[in-house]
Amino acid sequence: MTDKNLKNLRLVALTALFAALTAVATAFIKINTGINEGYLHFGDSVIYLAACVLSLPYACIAAAVGGGIADLLAGAAVWAPVTAVIKALNVLPFAIMYSAKITKSPNKIVNKATVAMPVISGLITIFGYLLAEGIMYSFPTAWTSVPFSIVQASGSAAVYWILGASLDKLNFKNRLFK
């Protein structure tokens, strides 16, 4: 195999791994809210990590596939298409930071450019699901989910910062792409 083929194989394998981790962290490590079939989870933190490790198309695929599969596994199939779109959009704030080369630490997961991205990504989640729930149910009903979405986004951000900082201490990104 050529170096290019090995690199592509590694990217595909990592994409599948992040999709699987996202699905597991979303569908099986969760707290049901009892509102609009919703639940709190930490799958978004895995999406944030994927967005920092993988390039744009691969991170979007991992997020969309992992989030969609999680909804299927959790018995909320009606949400899978919506989730796939929202989770792919969650990657964009991170991807913009890396592609714009704003960071002086591209080999770090948590750096000056990415530290605030979970907040922006969390807002994408909150307003994405608010819009979807408003269309599917009603907007008064959808607003009842917003506090839970805020808690989920905050928890996922905290998990991302902790895991990202821990992986940075292990020099994860450099070791991963040697």
User: Which SS3 state, helix, strand or coil, does residue 30 take?
Assistant: strand
- Is 0.75 surpassed by the pTM of this model? yes
For residue range 11-66, what is the model confidence (pLDDT) as tens digits?
Answer: 999 999 999 999 999 989 878 776 656 667 889 999 999 999 998 899 999 999 99
For residue range 61-108, what is the model confidence (pLDDT) as tens digits?
Answer: 999 999 999 999 988 899 999 999 999 999 999 988 887 777 667 788
Return the CATH class of domain 3-176: mainly alpha
Indicate the pLDDT class of residue 138, thresholds 50, 70 and 90: very high
User: Which SS3 state, helix, strand or coil, does residue 32 take?
Assistant: strand
What is the rounded distance in angstroms from the CA atom of residue 93 to the CA atom of residue 112?
Answer: 13
Residues 52, 109: contact at Cβ < 8 Å? yes
